[in-house]
Structure 1
Amino acid sequence: MQDRNHLARVKATHQVEVIENGLIDIPMLQILQSDGTLHPGASAPPLSQDVAVKILHTMQYIRILDERMIAAQRQGRISFYLACTGEEAAAVGSVAALSDQDMIMSQYREQGALAYRGYSTAQFMNQMFSNQLDPNKGRQMPIHYGDKALNFMTISSPLATQIPQAAGYAYGQKMAGNDAITICYFGEGAASEGDFHAGLNMAAVLNCPVVFFCRNNGYAISTPAEEQFAGDGIASRGIGYGIKTIRVDGNDVLAVYAATQEARRIAVEQRCPVLIEAMSYRLAAHSTSDDPSGYRSRDEEDKWRAKDPVARMIHWLDSQGWFDESQNSKWLEQSRQEVLAALKEAEKVPVNPIEDIVEDVYDSVPWHLSAQLEQLKSHIKKYPEVYPKTSGRVK
């Protein structure tokens, strides 16, 4: 029987040795340079033209969606929005390397992963307007998507809740003998939550086939990374928990694709977790409730705009002879029209019946919830001008 005494695996020393953070030097995978050419010695992962163009179009589509919905929030048409401008390569490049059977557990900035799998513009809009075509019946905030058919777990607002859930779901996949993994997205700010440590430790000890994908975009809302932790980013924590770890340039979609492809292979074949830290930058505000000018400079943002993942991918596609500027311009205009039309249509769909607030939880509605519902109805009846019945939103 294998010796399970952990002391048997520890190397002894007879002099005091202080281990410093500087001993950890985790490299970052890069394939594309900022101008879209390959780094010397780098090679592009095998990608068909169809997949490569789909990756680009998904990133461009999400940028259009983000711009339009931020404007809609400013106009009071929806209550809240989170953009992923500058981080599109992290979500889209990673999901492109997965199987459709793999479960996605997202934080809230991975709309690109959902779009890549086929989530329609109408579905995005119905969720954000919380109307009667929203499968969640309007009970979630905007951008809290979920789709069972696409293996995309519904998003929760509290940070890091999905991390231990992903470990548990992946353990179930392993026990069922499924040739599938779970990928769990989160930001470096969420890695400061206790659930991060519990989830990684659980996955490591139980050998769960899960890929933990951290988007290190530099800021947890307004808190810069250097004020969040003193160690070597998030990748060093994976090593500390005994998890195979990859650090990648999160603005390099080919590098993200290659890293995730390898991480998935390891998770499937070795039935173990892998941590990916994607180094990126949030060009957008944290959310429509945030003003980034209060905690970072325009010069800083401009330096990262030069590393735009969408432009980098366009340059590489062009070098392959796979990019037609005229056709791409037409596609962009069609996408803008599609987003705008879907927004206007979703806005016309009535909201859900007020009774939906207390149903679908208990077999029969408890008395105290029924009483609260009646109080709410009385309040709405008293102020009917504030709660229109036919609008897709509450003013």
Structure 2
Amino acid sequence: MPSEQWTHPEPGEGPAAIAAQPSPEQVIAGLRATSEGGAELTQLLTPEGQRIPSEQFDSYVADVDDEVLRNLYRDMVLVRRADREANAMQRQGQLGIWVPLLGQEAAQIGSGRALGPRDMAFPSYREHGVAYARGVDLRDLLGIFRCTDHSGWDYQAHRFHPYTIVIGNQVLNAAGYAMGQKFEGKVGDDDGEATICYFGDGATSQGDVHEGFVWGAVYDAPLVFFCQNNQWAISEPTERQSRLPLYQRARGYGFPGIRVDGNDVLACLAVTRWALEQCRHGNGPVLIEAFTYRMDAHTTTDDPTRYRLSDELEEWKLKDPIERVRAYLARGGGADHDFFDGVQAEADEFAAQLREHTFNMPEPPPDRIFANVYAEPSPVLDAQREEYLSYLDGFATAGEH
């Protein structure tokens, strides 16, 4: 049996290798496919900025002209600049922690811009680009990392749920929400609704994710599982978690899986539009594995130099998601130096606004922690609030005696 059969046993190509008894060559091929893009990688824009035609996906980006690409480029530049500014502010003690997205801008902007106004997004804790694409003011987002808010935006208005810190838990939440969309008859045509749920490669080792796969599949929920495979679950590489590429796991649950170049904003846009269309028409869930790379630390408490080589980082710098769009626009005359300089100036101003907001962010009053806990008044919670405030008042009056 050829080693490639273990890597991607497609229907009609013969029996798959027995999972318990793969040959050494099959294991090696499978492991290599978890850390390299592989032949299955869907790509529309190369790292050099060259357009690749796709019979399956070109129709999903038929409306993407130079103006749309300029907007996608602008989105990614602004989000990256905001990310770098927040990272610096954490180092200066203005934020308690920061979760960088450096290198994952295309996966987040491409998929975020594919969402329709009625679709719902469930993030983990790194989806700053998706938040931006859904119209969330990033100043509202910073309160989470300054430890003054859980979320500062109206998640129903933006169709973007609060961040989830517990690894993989948002997948169950998203599955339940998507099941509700199905039960309420909000799927079945072009006007249908869908849900997208974001998680990382490390989360695929959590039971919550697999339970979400089961529930989504059983109920044909209109749910796009969007896995940002950035190669590292903190310090553990993907090949330590899976023998097979992550997108192939979908087959075991009975729904399609696809791997897309997560550094290609055009491909991410096209593949996500396709997946959402499948969901809206009632065809059940889809798993997207966005094959990308985390260019910075897992969080600002992490030191990636302790577990990965600098050569690997340098290799992925050549696949930068922003530079390939810049190269495409510059080569084809879709943008000039004035445009690029203008976007950078706008990004610097955007970062300055975030910085000013953070430095002047007011401290919330103590009773804030009791607000918005329940939809209806709670006598028990009211009593707890009064007891806590009375306790704090005791410190204020202690010096008077």
TM-score, normalised with respect to structure 1: 0.83
Q: Quickly say closer, same or farther: Cα 1:382–1:29, change in 2 above 3 A.
A: farther
d(CA) in 1 for partners of 2:359, 2:176: 38
- The residue correspondences of 1:164-243 to structure 2 (distance < 5 A) are 164-178=172-186, 179-229=192-242, 231-243=243-255
Mapped pair 1:104 → 2:117: no
d(CA) in 1 for partners of 2:383, 2:137: 39
Instruction: Return the offset for 1:49.
Output: 3.3
| Helix, strand or coil at the partner of 1:186 | strand
- The residue correspondences of 1:330-369 to structure 2 (distance < 5 A) are 330-361=342-373, 363-364=378-379, 365=381, 367=383
Contact 2:77-2:343 within 8 A present in 1 as well: no
d(CA) in 1 for partners of 2:309, 2:97: 24
Q: For structure 1, which segment, 263-272 or 69-78, has the greater mean C-alpha deviation from structure 2 after superposition?
A: 263-272
Q: Quickly say closer, same or farther: Cα 1:18–1:226, change in 2 above 3 A.
A: closer
Q: Which amino acid aligns with 1:18?
A: I
Instruction: Return the offset for 1:100.
Output: 1.9
Instruction: Return the offset for 1:57.
Output: 0.9
Instruction: Return the offset for 1:144.
Output: 8.5
Contact 1:358-1:373 within 8 A present in 2 as well: no
Q: Which amino acid aligns with 2:346?
A: Q
Q: For structure 1, which segment, 367-376 or 295-304, has the greater mean C-alpha deviation from structure 2 after superposition?
A: 367-376
User: What CA deviation, in whole Å up to 9, does each residue of 1:301-353 have, x standing for no partner?
Assistant: 00000000110111122344322222221221122123213321343242111
| Helix, strand or coil at the partner of 2:290 | strand
- The residue correspondences of 1:33-72 to structure 2 (distance < 5 A) are 33-39=46-52, 45-46=61-62, 47-72=64-89
d(CA) in 1 for partners of 2:157, 2:110: 21
d(CA) in 2 for partners of 1:27, 1:121: 35
Contact 1:92-1:113 within 8 A present in 2 as well: yes
The equivalent residue for 1:18 is 18
| Helix, strand or coil at the partner of 2:99 | coil
User: What CA deviation, in whole Å up to 9, does each residue of 1:21-69 have, x standing for no partner?
Assistant: 6498881212222101124777853213333222111111111001111
d(CA) in 1 for partners of 2:183, 2:357: 44
| Helix, strand or coil at the partner of 1:104 | strand
Q: Quickly say closer, same or farther: Cα 1:121–1:367, change in 2 above 3 A.
A: closer
The equivalent residue for 1:253 is 265
User: What CA deviation, in whole Å up to 9, does each residue of 1:70-114 have, x standing for no partner?
Assistant: 110000011111111111111111122221211000112211111
Contact 2:128-2:138 within 8 A present in 1 as well: no
Contact 2:248-2:258 within 8 A present in 1 as well: no
Mapped pair 1:158 → 2:166: yes
Q: Which amino acid aligns with 1:147?
A: Y
The equivalent residue for 1:270 is 282
Instruction: Return the offset for 1:120.
Output: 2.8
The equivalent residue for 1:133 is none
Q: Quickly say closer, same or farther: Cα 1:129–1:340, change in 2 above 3 A.
A: farther
Q: For structure 1, which segment, 342-351 or 157-166, has the greater mean C-alpha deviation from structure 2 after superposition?
A: 342-351
| Helix, strand or coil at the partner of 1:214 | strand
d(CA) in 2 for partners of 1:381, 1:58: 52
Q: Quickly say closer, same or farther: Cα 1:198–1:121, change in 2 above 3 A.
A: closer
Q: Which amino acid aligns with 2:90?
A: Q
Q: Quickly say closer, same or farther: Cα 1:41–1:147, change in 2 above 3 A.
A: closer
d(CA) in 2 for partners of 1:73, 1:319: 38
User: What CA deviation, in whole Å up to 9, does each residue of 1:258-306 have, x standing for no partner?
Assistant: 1111111111123410000111110010011111001011111000000
Match 2:297 to one of 285, 290, 314: 285
Q: Which amino acid aligns with 1:64?
A: R
Contact 1:174-1:271 within 8 A present in 2 as well: no
Report the identity percentage.
33
d(CA) in 1 for partners of 2:396, 2:207: 40
Instruction: Return the offset for 1:378.
Output: 5.4
Instruction: Return the offset for 1:227.
Output: 1.7
d(CA) in 1 for partners of 2:364, 2:111: 35
| Helix, strand or coil at the partner of 1:266 | helix
d(CA) in 1 for partners of 2:157, 2:340: 30
Instruction: Return the offset for 1:121.
Output: 4.3
Gaps of 5+ in 2: 1-14, 34-38, 187-191
The equivalent residue for 1:95 is 112
Q: Which amino acid aligns with 1:296?
A: R
Instruction: Return the offset for 1:161.
Output: 0.9
The equivalent residue for 2:340 is 328
The equivalent residue for 2:36 is none
The equivalent residue for 2:92 is 75
Contact 2:77-2:347 within 8 A present in 1 as well: no
Gaps of 5+ in 1: 1-14, 131-137, 384-395
d(CA) in 1 for partners of 2:351, 2:43: 33
User: What CA deviation, in whole Å up to 9, does each residue of 1:174-213 have, x standing for no partner?
Assistant: 2222211000000010111110111000000000000000
Contact 1:121-1:339 within 8 A present in 2 as well: no
d(CA) in 2 for partners of 1:206, 1:40: 35
Contact 1:108-1:144 within 8 A present in 2 as well: no
d(CA) in 2 for partners of 1:332, 1:382: 54
Q: Quickly say closer, same or farther: Cα 1:146–1:72, change in 2 above 3 A.
A: farther
Contact 2:78-2:350 within 8 A present in 1 as well: no
Count, aligned residues: 360
